[in-house]
Amino acid sequence: MLMETILDLPIENKIFYAVLVFSWTVYLWEAYLAYRQRRTYRSTMHVPQELGKIMDTDTFEKSRLYQLDKSNFSFWSGLYSETEGTLILLLGGIPFLWKVAGTVTARFGLGADYEIFQSLSFLMLATLFSAFTGLPWSIYNTFVIEEKHGFNQQTLGFFLKDAVKKFIVTQCILLPVTSLLLYIIKIGGDFFFIYAWLFTLGVSLVLVTIYADYIAPLFDKFTPLPEGELKEEIESMSKSINFPLTKVYVVEGSKRSSHSNAYFYGFFKNKRIVLFDTLMEDYSPLNKDGEPENVPAEETDTPTEAKAKPKNKKQGCNNPEVLAVLGHELGHWKLGHTVKNIVISQMNSFLCFFLFAVLIGRKELFIAFGFYDSQPTLIGLMIIFQFIFSPYNEVLSFCLTVLSRRFEFQADAFARGMGRASELYSALIKLNKDNLGFPVADWLFSMWHYSHPPLLERLRALGGTKQD
């Protein structure tokens, strides 16, 4: 009876309920995986014998409690997000916001013919709504969970100012790009999907190129790595594999969090390396009682907003370990992982725009989400990319996770081939300790979520080389 009732529904109703059912199916699957991992956190109370030589009891317990708190928070925030999304769909939130956006543009004398302006108004209202509803969760995560476990370095004033700045910068990029994309789709004719894909490809390449030079410095302070042994070693290592390094920066990540990171960016012969100050034990302010090394007190940013730094345990890696970490990162470049990821991303983007071109004329897709009298292009992009493609996106995400783990093993092997296995081994242990990574994972949770192999698997692959 139920099946017959479902089959008798209009096609637009089938589409709508299929989207809801799939969304909740994914959520329940994710919740089940998270439950399995929380069970691992709760049941693994003691350091496994295999980990006895690389992790002390105190660090193990801290990492267990940290990850357990994060998992519990993720459960409640995920439940809220899924419930909010469902209510928005059931109560017609999307068409309602579109009408509000039309009212806003009408106040400026712009009618329904100015669809792009109404689309930009809709986009700004939607991102504003998302920012406000997500703010309490972000505050709790930063000032309760991260604070409790010693990672947060921000004051509330700095955090709020940063959130406003991020929103403004996002709008300055999002609105012009979206308006041009909608215009291209409108005037592109039968092959608009090719022009739209080329445009998004160009935008992504430009953003990757300018991000660390012009966007990231709006939020964090970047300074050139001072002359010295570390810089000379980095330049020598880059030269040995023909990596076209032009600059090495240190970013002041410690003013936000004590988590650490490193990355490189740039195209062709203009590569730059960025090191977080928290990655290097000689530069991390968290290892000092006073001001950061090499930075005079009068040059530090916003001293009134800098949170008092507690005396933490020694953090970061020594120079040989930093070089080993960079050897891993340079391995991604030398082995073509970056290019492969870009190619995969752009093939996926082209496929999605092609399928969008096939589906955009289907009126029932718009009716399913409450648009009976109009078919706005922006709404079509949202419906097709976010809802209709969601099963494909889940499969693709899992495949990319599997590929990412393979790339990580290959990059580790590259660093080992450079003679840095021992240093990478100890660096991975230190970074896991500094970031309170829990080394025991449920196999199914790990398979589905971990883009990086678990610590023990990476250490085994490095050959068990141990540097005490």
149 is in an annotated binding site: no
Position of tokens 């289907």?
Answer: 362
Q: How many angstroms separate the CA atoms of 378 and 197, rounded?
A: 15
408 is in an annotated binding site: yes
Q: How many angstroms separate the CA atoms of 218 and 169, rounded?
A: 9
Q: How many angstroms separate the CA atoms of 193 and 189, rounded?
A: 9
Q: Exposed, middle or buried, 255 (CB in 10 Å: 0-12/13-18/19+)?
A: buried
Residue 4, token pair as written in the block: 């017959």
Instruction: For the beta carbon of residue 268, count every other beta carbon within 10 angstroms.
Output: 7
Task: Give the closest residue to 233 by CA, choosing from 275, 174, 175.
Answer: 275
CA distances in angstroms from 251 to 279, 402, 431, listed in the order given? 10, 30, 17
4 included as an active-site residue: no
Q: Exposed, middle or buried, 341 (CB in 10 Å: 0-12/13-18/19+)?
A: middle
Which helix or strand (DSSP H or E) is residue 293 part of? none
332 is in an annotated binding site: yes
323 in Cβ contact with 429 (< 8 Å): no
| Residue of 12, 281, 412, 423 marked active site | 412
329 included as an active-site residue: yes
Q: How many angstroms separate the CA atoms of 97 and 143, rounded?
A: 32
Q: How many angstroms separate the CA atoms of 291 and 184, rounded?
A: 51
| Residue of 329, 423, 442, 457 marked active site | 329
Beta sheet of 262-265, edge-to-edge order: 222-224, 245-251, 271-276, 262-265
Q: How many angstroms separate the CA atoms of 126 and 104, rounded?
A: 13
Q: Exposed, middle or buried, 175 (CB in 10 Å: 0-12/13-18/19+)?
A: middle
* Three-state secondary structure call for residue 152: strand
Residue 98, token pair as written in the block: 């579109």
| Strand partners of residue 58 | none
128 in Cβ contact with 121 (< 8 Å): no
Hey, what's the torsion of the CAs at 82, 84, 89, 93, to 10 degrees? Answer: -160
89 in Cβ contact with 19 (< 8 Å): yes
Task: Give the closest residue to 278 by CA, choosing from 294, 254, 306.
Answer: 254
Q: How many angstroms separate the CA atoms of 282 and 267, rounded?
A: 30
Task: Give the closest residue to 74 by CA, choosing from 131, 35, 24.
Answer: 35
Q: Which residues are annotated as a binding site for Zn(2+)?
A: 328, 332, 408
> Which positions are annotated as active-site residues?
329, 412
Q: Which residues are annotated as a binding site?
A: 328, 332, 408
